[in-house]
Structure 1
Amino acid sequence: MPWLLIFLIRPDLRRCLLLMSILCMPLGASDAVFIPHYWHPVTLFDWVPGVESFVFAFNTGGLAGTLFKVVARRAVVVEPSLAHPSVAVQALLLIIGPILLGWAFPQSPFAIHLGYIEAVTMSIGAGLIVQKRRDLGAEILGGGSLFFVLHFDVLILLDRVMFPGWIDHTWNFQILSGIRLAGAPVEDLLWAFTLGAVWAPLYELLMGGRLSKRPSGK
């Protein structure tokens, strides 16, 4: 499990991993909007959102918040003067706002095409962050790319190895573009990139920190 692996091998990132996981976990409730417009997964007890939604969101937050730091061998150096919590809140509202509107108007085109709207608003959120902290630009692009790759790999593993045909039976391709990358819906991959881009630098923005090269052997 990647989340647990990062927890074990990078004790310096445990606070970041846990905080970003906990912060993202409530977003699991967004499946109440995405089901059945976007997809219709089988859930434990047939709950919507299911327990799996919150487990997925918890893992997503931690991984998206730390993947770049692990792969690029970066540590977070605390500098309170670099904190911009108001910008972080704006970025979070750009994620949460469309979900709340989709929940309030479940049959509207807004709710039906929420995935595309989320990708746009998360991109705007990433833009706000880099406008305030240009030093986080590499993490935004790297974090988005790495979470894209991880999410793609998980989708392919589930669809081809664990549950053959899972993607075809789960996503609602009647309202999606139908464009796929090795079978994975491009909308899901777009979501992964934009979520990773906006989530990767949030910890430094909230807590006040900059990335520094991690010493060899640590």
Structure 2
Amino acid sequence: MLKHEYLENPCRAASIPYWKTACIAIPDNTKIVHDSEFDTELLKRYQDEPYFRLRHPMLEVEPVSLPEGYSLQEASVPDFVEHINSCYDDIGITVPEMQRNMLREQYSSELWLAVKEDCRGKIVATGIAELDREIGEGVLEWIQVSKDYRRCGLGSYLVSELLWRMRKAAKFVTVSGKCNNPDYPEGLYRKCGFCGNDVWHILREREQTAFAE
């Protein structure tokens, strides 16, 4: 994909950030189609997982403060991995995988945030973003809050703080997530200034049952 084609409409041009389009191969059993090209006939062969993709124009970004009783904490890669995995039932990431992420050109230590609850001293929220300086695209990669600490303003803080830290280098910021997530992360991102209506369908081939004659 050409850079100028992507920049015209990033969330419509690709299902993933620009820098990933050059290094991620789609498996043979998978199709990725934009909602405008989606046909329900595909469901006969594929299982569908729709993902929203939103964009923040970075026109108005304001500094934010943590809710009372919480503070930022330096955290190790295992700390991030432990917290991320504790927030999901269907996602698991390993320490080596996260360490490889730190070798990317898009990595910035300032964009790895861990929030602790002061009274208990434990990490209850984490957020990670990446920055493609070549085209000025920021990407929210991991935003998660422990189950018992949701609806306390920590998710909004993570998103807004990462936007603030990218404001001088990012011309725009993108984020994606599952449309059918019961926690409705899309609402959080829209609340923080993200916009758009692009949906991408990740289609994976259904297992074919073999019948003996």
TM-score, normalised relative to structure 2:
0.29
Higher relative contact order (CA 8 A, sep 6+): 2
Q: Which structure shows the bigger proportion of residues in strand conformation?
A: 2
Q: Which has the larger radius of gyration?
A: 2
Q: Which structure shows the bigger proportion of residues in helix conformation?
A: 1
